[in-house]
Amino acid sequence: VKGKVVSLKEFGVFVEIEEGVEGLIHISDLSWGYVKHPREVVKVGDIVEAKVLEIDPERRRISLGLKQIFPDPWENIEEKYPVGSTVRVRVNKVSTRGALVEVEEGVEGRIPLEELSWKRVTRVNDVVRRNQLVEAKVLAIDRESRQLTLSLRALRPNPWEEAQTRWQVGDIVEGKIQRLMNFGAFVELAPEIEALLPLSEIAWEPVKHPSQVFKKGQTVSLKIIEFKPEEQRIVVSRKALLPDPWEIIKTRYPLGSIHEGKVVRLVDFGAFVELEEGWDGLVHISEIAEERISSPQEVLKEGDVVKVKVIKLDDAERKIGLSIKQALREEEEKARKEQTQEGKITLGDVIGEKLATILNNLKK
């Protein structure tokens, strides 16, 4: 039937078929494609040709369809857009999950976020924009949801295939800092290949945020510590290329050595003593004094300078165990030995002088 558009509503269009007889074209029956509002298709006063879908005499309602005049573009979809074929599409909408595109009127597709590029994409607008025309590869056809699944990256060589033969764990690589995140940084090693530099692998000392060390675009040398090209995952480390301060600390504070340190924190189970900036050792409560104490505060306070003996170096935990009482014991023992040695020398000197006097008198 032919009729005149007399009214536009959000849910559809009222068409006057003849005087006193109107039909409704629901918004979903205006086009095979997505329609946000009827005004995108028709305007008041337009003469349209529509197909009668349903007549309800009791409710005096006629349902019409405009799109039914034209063939359903999904009838031969597999022939027009077979899986594996390349199609030119227009980007209709971008979101955090990817992009929605129009293949033709009535045929829509989606490009998932992971199919936009071989590298990690955080902002879809960095790859595609609304109304942009792009070529994509058909990955799947879903008749039920009337949607194609498409890919941009499938039209380009997979860089991870080359990466399999290019790198391995232990290799030293150069990369450019792309993004700084709370948990670390993403580093570009090659076009469309990024590696993760975890926060814990930036430096031996604690780093709260990668921006303390890096700037976006900075080139850095790194060591590959995890390499899984089949999962498109590379983990790198900066600290692996830096001297391990723990090895230096072990050389500077060997087992059995005695040092001076400052009490920086008291806890129920002992006291933490700073040996140098960034390195504390724990004096367990049982190693504070010879006598039994119930709390470190009985004999220590923060800021006290004390002598401590290194009694434990834990490689796994990178922790130092200290003892105040053993250091004091050794210091006292050392002092006793020195006093005894001084006493022996003094007595010998005195006897020697007396013997010399007697011998001189005999000679006379």
pLDDT at residue 345 is higher than 90? no
Beta-ladder partners of 159: none
pLDDT at residue 354 is higher than 90? no
Percent of the chain whose predicted confidence (pLDDT) is above 70: 94
pLDDT at residue 202 is higher than 90? yes
pLDDT band at 335 (very low <50, low <70, confident <90, very high): confident
pLDDT (0 to 100) of residue 351: 47
Task: Spell out a b/e string for 76-107, using b for 16 or more CB atoms within 10 Å of the CB, else e.
Answer: ebeeebeeeeebebebbebeeebbbbbbeebb
pLDDT at residue 350 is higher than 50? no
* Residue 278, phi-psi category: left (phi > 0), alpha (psi -120 to 50), beta (remainder): left
Domains of the chain: 2-69 (2.40.50.140), 77-155 (2.40.50.140), 159-241 (2.40.50.140), 245-326 (2.40.50.140)
Strand order in the sheet with 61-65: 47-49, 2-9, 12-18, 21-26, 61-65, 51-56
pLDDT by residue (tens digit) across 46-93?
999 999 999 988 777 899 999 888 888 888 899 999 999 999 999 999
pLDDT at residue 340 is higher than 80? no
The answer to whether the beta carbons of residues 98 and 124 sit under 8 Å apart is yes
pLDDT at residue 342 is higher than 80? no
Beta-ladder partners of 281: 273
Local structure of 81: helix, strand or coil = coil
pLDDT (0 to 100) of residue 341: 72
Percent of the chain whose predicted confidence (pLDDT) is above 90: 70
Q: How far out from the chain centre does Cα 319 lie?
A: 28
The pTM score is: 0.58
Helix (H) or strand (E) holding 355: helix 324-363
pLDDT by residue (tens digit) across 26-41?
998 898 777 889 998 8
pLDDT by residue (tens digit) across 169-193?
999 999 999 999 999 999 999 988 9
pLDDT (0 to 100) of residue 270: 96
Query: The tokens of 174 are what?
Result: 């150069």
**HSE-up of residue 157 (Cα within 13 Å, Cβ side):** 5
pLDDT (0 to 100) of residue 356: 52
More confident residue, 34 or 107: 107
Measured CA distances, 309 to 20, 54, 268, 324, 357 (Å): 105, 95, 21, 6, 49
More confident residue, 359 or 277: 277
pLDDT at residue 266 is higher than 50? yes
Average pLDDT, the chain: 90
Other CB atoms within 10 Å distance of the CB of residue 194:
21
